[in-house]
Chains A and B, each alone.
Chain A
Amino acid sequence: MDVLVQLILNGIMLGSMYAIISVGLTLIFGIVRVVNFAHGEFLMVGMYAVYLLSLHLGLHPYVSAVPMVLMLFAVGALVQRFIIQPLLGADEHIQIFATVGLSTALINLALLVFGADLYSVQAPGVRQPLSIGGYTVLYAQVVMLVSALVLVAGLHLFMQRTPLGRAIRATAQNRNAAQLMGVRVDRIYVIAFGLGAACVGLASALISPLFPVTPTIGTYFVLTAFVVVVLGGMRSMYGAFLGAMIIGIVDSLSGYYIAPDLKEVVYFAIFILILIFKPTGLFGFGRGTE
């Protein structure tokens, strides 16, 4: 029983990490209707930047969160403006290829610049264990969970309470109608893509103390994030959050009870089954495969 509770606790901590990445992916898909295959590479870029800031300026990764959010917002906005926007009218294939191409280019650029070596960021104190009622979590994991909750709550308030948030929701629901009401849809898309990428900027600062950065770290996380997004119904931030918790727990439990190297098999299997049998996601937040 103790083991099970500890595993679930670990799962929730892991889930909060996936949640931050997946909420960003969901924002981009839900609003711009583009699946960003380069999402993981944004994370990778952020993690290298955190590493460089820590190495050269001695910045603590958590301090880097602010510049990372701003930098990734800019990266996302630029990608939307100069790559996705010209392709909005094109075949879906072409859009997929564009983000896949971007992903390939970024992975290999990192390989070219940094090589295949692992780089760890020094972050004093954050890997210390914290004891809660006999169970152990890392300080960094608690920060992650709190950040994920604050992020979702903040985005919720932003979407519901601000004029810009309303314009974004309107655009997501019906692009043409929003345009007729005077919403500048292209600008909304740039902001939405930027926000989605900014989530990854936050994630890169929080993940850096826990995982060493490599050129392919993004692929590792983003495949999981795709599973989460599909589980959550593809367009719902809240669905993505819940989906992330589920995948975190599944990851933690199957790693222990089945085999550590088969945990991905378990959630990819869930992913395929959900895609095929319940394409609206587990909680019915989404609208399926169209």
Chain B
Amino acid sequence: MTVRVSLSEAPPAGRLAALMAWLGNPRVYTSLAALSLILVIPIVVDSPFIVHVFVTICVFAGLSTAWNIVGGYAGQLSLGHMVFYGIGAYTTALLIQHFGLTPWLGMWVGAVVSVAVSVFIGYPCFRLRGPFFALATIAFLEVVRLLAIHFHGFTGGSAGLIVPLKLGWTWMIFQDKINYLYIAFGLLLLTLAISYAIRSSRLGYYLTAVREREEAASAAGISNTGVKLKAVMISAALTSLFGSFHAMYLTFLEPETMFSLANSVSIAMFALIGGLGTVAGPLLGTVLVVPIAELARGWLGASANGLHGFVYGVVLVLITLTLPGGLAGTFGPRVTALIDRLPGRRVPPDREAPALRRMEGTPGEPVLETRDLVMKFGGLTATDHVSITLRRGEILGVIGPNGAGKTTVFNQISGFLKPTSGTVVIYDAEGRPVTPARADEYARLGVGRTFQIVQPFGKLTVIENIMIGAFMRHTSVDDARAAALRIARLVGLLHVKDVEARNLPIGDLKRLEVARTLATEPSILLLDEVMAGQNQTDTQKMVELIRTIRDTGVTVIAIEHNMQAIMSLSDRIVVIDSGKVIAEGDPQEVVRNRRVIEAYLGEDFVDAQGL
């Protein structure tokens, strides 16, 4: 069962040959063979107890896989996820009881209700970090559970609710338990397929980006809340479907078990044991741990009450201390490498996207304007009535002493800070003035920025980092990869493309910042000290790179402390000191400006030189 489902090509619909080729991939056929064991073993063994164990495995593996979309991919640690399971269960059961609606339809109604609730919970809570998000989800679970007990006229309260026992496929209630397994297995396959599809799509990359660094994700044009909401909606719907099915299987619902905190913790735990954020991890964790619980119950009866939970808890603590990546995270790559040695694997060649066409537009027309930008932090005025106009096709250098407020200006013209007063105006493709509201909207309008303190997605490879940017203009993974490869070659990162970003030296990290931003195909590029920490050769390369970028029609505004480089590079220089623009003009003019020399070297120096 140690197969990590991570296929690299999906079958184009309706083409038999392509399907056969897909099935011929060792990762595909070993995964499918391993999965089929879940169905084959109980059919062959043919014991009601074994069937029960496997139905339970399917349900909890499915719940855990669905949880992993939010908890693993998006990194939002929900510990109240059974709220959606309970909603699915109660909705389906009540629809049968009151309206005679078949659970096959009722489960979808439950899923819709769950999705609505997930947005209601997720939207306000996504701003909370780590433990506080977890606590808020627990609080929501408790509230719903208490309400379910309180409104007993509707839900049956603590006494419980019995699902009307009408046998047959229409009512999803069977004498022969093996039928339940077919449905549970089908739901599990659906959930795994969706989880895999997300993992290997733009949404999957976006979720990783948001989990790793929200700021850098915004700069790549990703709406953090939007992406997380998508994840929680999908997860809630799937969780709800399992709740509906499980209600039909258990035929008895009570708030304590339907909205259980212990089960919410369990499904998160299975995912952690198997490997948080991997496709196969949650299934793997469930397959390893659930049989222990069920066998303990089967063999030891009531005397073993608590034994399985005790084992769960101890295993969980041990995993956090010894294998924080979980089984799939720790051993997955090795197992995948072994599987790849089986016959049938073909690696598709890397495709590189062609160079972009030159950008349209009249050189010299304004593309970005700031009007009287004021930014106050408490008593400190970080920017003081800054008005700058950026003209198409130019390279504008921004210089000034440390703490002058240069980066604060950048943060305002890329949407990361809202000015206290004043406005930022961007001219869009049609020349209309626009003022976007959020950082990701700035990015999508074509304002790309780098961060002075580099913000790589550390656990992603270099090429994947660049792809996060490329996804802004490309929906498909293949196209984004091709575009990212082109950029990697352009900035000189091709030789490290498969290295995890956290292992790069600072020079490469600076280039990666530029690469990720370039991949968004910006029309305005904001560079924040990209030459700091670079050696002489690298600085020269960076200067050439910036010229090349400008030659494709991109307008560049760069903060820089490397005077030699910025003076040779810029068409125009703006000098900022104590939050104010103190000089503006062509480089030669600016270096002779008395106020500029004063700002850098002090009044005494100016006097001593007799300037």
B309 near A111 with CB under 8 A, answer yes
For A107, give the chain B residue with the smallest CB separation. B309
Bitwise interface map of A from 95 to 137 toward B, beta carbon under 8 Å scored 1, else 0: 1111011111111111110011000000000000000000000
Bitwise interface map of B from 237 to 281 toward A, beta carbon under 8 Å scored 1, else 0: 000000000000000000000000110010011001000100000
17 A-B residue pairs with CB within 8 Å: A83-B317, A90-B320, A95-B320, A96-B134, A97-B316, A98-B317, A100-B79, A100-B316, A101-B315, A102-B317, A107-B313, A109-B306, A111-B306, A111-B310, A264-B143, A268-B139, A289-B132
Which of B128, B146, B149 has the most A CB atoms < 10 Å from its CB?
Answer: B146
B136 near A105 with CB under 8 A, answer no
Interface: B305 (CB within 8 A)? yes
Interface: B358 (CB within 8 A)? no
Which of chain B's residues have a CB closer than 8 A to the CB of A95?
320
Interface: A181 (CB within 8 A)? no
Which of chain B's residues have a CB closer than 8 A to the CB of A264?
142-143, 146
A262 near B261 with CB under 8 A, answer no
Bitwise interface map of B from 101 to 138 toward A, beta carbon under 8 Å scored 1, else 0: 00000000000000000000000110111111011101
Which of chain A's residues have a CB closer than 8 A to the CB of B24?
none
B77 near A96 with CB under 8 A, answer yes
Bitwise interface map of A from 243 to 261 toward B, beta carbon under 8 Å scored 1, else 0: 0000000000000000101
Interface: A180 (CB within 8 A)? no
Interface: B45 (CB within 8 A)? no
A91 and B324 in contact, given A279-B128, A289-B127 (Cβ under 8 angstroms): yes
B131 near A92 with CB under 8 A, answer yes
How long is the Cα–Cα vector from A265 to B269 in the complex, in angstroms?
A: 27
For B266, give the chain A residue with the smallest CB separation. A104
Whole-angstrom distance between the Cβ of B76 and the nearest chain A Cβ = 10
Whole-angstrom distance between the Cβ of A80 and the nearest chain B Cβ = 13
Whole-angstrom distance between the Cβ of A1 and the nearest chain B Cβ = 29
A93 and B314 in contact, given A111-B309, A289-B127 (Cβ under 8 angstroms): no
Which of chain B's residues have a CB closer than 8 A to the CB of A102?
313, 317
How long is the Cα–Cα vector from A97 to B318 in the complex, in angstroms?
A: 10
A97 near B132 with CB under 8 A, answer no
How long is the Cα–Cα vector from A285 to B281 in the complex, in angstroms?
A: 41
B324 near A275 with CB under 8 A, answer no
Which of chain B's residues have a CB closer than 8 A to the CB of A226?
135
Which of chain A's residues have a CB closer than 8 A to the CB of B132?
230, 275, 279, 289
Interface: B321 (CB within 8 A)? yes
Which of A115, A219, A259, A261 has the most B CB atoms < 10 Å from its CB?
Answer: A261
How long is the Cα–Cα vector from A91 to B75 in the complex, in angstroms?
A: 11
Whole-angstrom distance between the Cβ of A111 and the nearest chain B Cβ = 3
A275 near B265 with CB under 8 A, answer no
B150 near A104 with CB under 8 A, answer no
Bitwise interface map of A from 262 to 286 toward B, beta carbon under 8 Å scored 1, else 0: 1011001101100110010000000
B136 near A272 with CB under 8 A, answer yes
Interface: B307 (CB within 8 A)? yes
- Chain A interface secondary structure, helix, strand, loop or mixed? helix
Interface: A86 (CB within 8 A)? yes
Q: Give the interface size class of chain B.
A: 35 or more
Partner of A112, one of B124, B310, B312: B310
A83 near B309 with CB under 8 A, answer no
A223 and B138 in contact, given A111-B305, A111-B309 (Cβ under 8 angstroms): yes
Contacts of A146-165 to chain B: CB distance below 8 A: none
B320 near A98 with CB under 8 A, answer yes
Which of chain B's residues have a CB closer than 8 A to the CB of A112?
304-307, 310
Which of chain B's residues have a CB closer than 8 A to the CB of A268?
139-140, 142-143, 146
Whole-angstrom distance between the Cβ of B363 and the nearest chain A Cβ = 44
Bitwise interface map of B from 77 to 111 toward A, beta carbon under 8 Å scored 1, else 0: 10100000000000000000000000000000000
Which of chain B's residues have a CB closer than 8 A to the CB of A90?
320, 324
Q: Give the interface size class of chain A.
A: 35 or more
Which of chain B's residues have a CB closer than 8 A to the CB of A115?
305
B136 near A289 with CB under 8 A, answer no
Interface: B308 (CB within 8 A)? yes
B316 near A35 with CB under 8 A, answer no
Whole-angstrom distance between the Cβ of B512 and the nearest chain A Cβ = 22
Which of chain A's residues have a CB closer than 8 A to the CB of B10?
none
Which of chain A's residues have a CB closer than 8 A to the CB of B77?
93, 96
How long is the Cα–Cα vector from A270 to B321 in the complex, in angstroms?
A: 35
Whole-angstrom distance between the Cβ of B299 and the nearest chain A Cβ = 15
For B322, give the chain A residue with the smallest CB separation. A86
A108 and B312 in contact, given A93-B276, A100-B79, A115-B305 (Cβ under 8 angstroms): yes
A97 near B320 with CB under 8 A, answer yes
B129 near A290 with CB under 8 A, answer yes
A272 near B317 with CB under 8 A, answer no
Whole-angstrom distance between the Cβ of B322 and the nearest chain A Cβ = 10
How long is the Cα–Cα vector from A271 to B124 in the complex, in angstroms?
A: 13
Interface: B147 (CB within 8 A)? yes
A109 and B136 in contact, given A83-B317, A104-B265, A265-B146 (Cβ under 8 angstroms): no
Bitwise interface map of A from 67 to 81 toward B, beta carbon under 8 Å scored 1, else 0: 000000000000000
A105 near B139 with CB under 8 A, answer no
Partner of B313, one of A35, A87, A108, A219: A108
For B306, give the chain A residue with the smallest CB separation. A111
For A115, give the chain B residue with the smallest CB separation. B305
